[in-house]
Amino acid sequence: MIDELLASACRVFTGPSVGWHCDPHAEVQRIYFANHSSHLDFIAIWSALPPRVRARVRPVAGSDYWSRDPVRRYLAGHVFRALLVDRNSGVAAKAEAARASVQRIADGMGAGDSVIVFPEGTRSLDGAMRPFKSGLYHLARAKPDAELVPVHLENLNRILPKGEALVVPMFSRVTFGTPLRTTSDEPKEQFLARARWAVLALRGVA
């Protein structure tokens, strides 16, 4: 009940136009990966999914934000079933923390859950998409049978800009692309560049 109320509220405030270039009702394991400019991003994607699919999708989010108070902890743990990762590791521990995060996400997916990830690693201040970090590559290798679905978000950075607490109702767009095909021998840099372009190519696509 709470999840449907939140999904409905998100659709009211963000007024999303949703485009699909893959089967929205396919009950397959997926890795949805998108550009990132607002704390509303994963909620916008999550709320755009059909209810039956949404029930098996877990967003990946920063524990520093979603563990900040009891309300956020409750929503993250009991409504979104979010997989929280630590984004504040020191430089020396960053590589080990990244590996641990990928393993945590892969384990959290289990045999049937899908995830929403943001390969840039942090929100963009100006809406321009940054290069993708290597986590998406390693997650795709850890879950080779999961479909990789690019998602492009438009206008979420204006609805809830970084540093703001109040939502400004306006229209947005969520576009789900065609699943990305991968090969086991594709170099990491080539894969990440291709995945990033798959998201960028959805700009303005109906």
Where in the chain are the domains?
2-200
- What is the model's pLDDT at position 163? 53
Whole-angstrom distance, CA of residue 121 vs CA of residue 58: 17
- What is the model's pLDDT at position 166? 46
- What is the model's pLDDT at position 40? 76
| Nearest residue to 111 (alpha-carbon basis) of 182, 52, 56 | 56
Distances from the Cα of 90 to the Cα of 86, 97, 98, 118, 161, angstroms? 11, 9, 11, 21, 27
- What is the model's pLDDT at position 82? 92
Whole-angstrom distance, CA of residue 175 vs CA of residue 143: 23
Q: Do 176 and 24 touch, CB atoms closer than 8 A?
A: yes
Q: Do 193 and 144 touch, CB atoms closer than 8 A?
A: no
| Tens digit of each residue's pLDDT, the chain (206 residues) | 677 777 777 676 666 789 999 999 999 999 999 998 777 788 889 989 999 999 999 999 888 888 888 988 998 888 899 999 886 654 455 677 788 899 999 999 999 999 999 999 877 766 678 899 999 999 999 999 999 999 998 876 555 555 554 454 556 789 999 999 888 889 999 999 999 999 999 986 65
pTM for the structure as a whole: 0.89
CATH class of the region 2-200? alpha beta
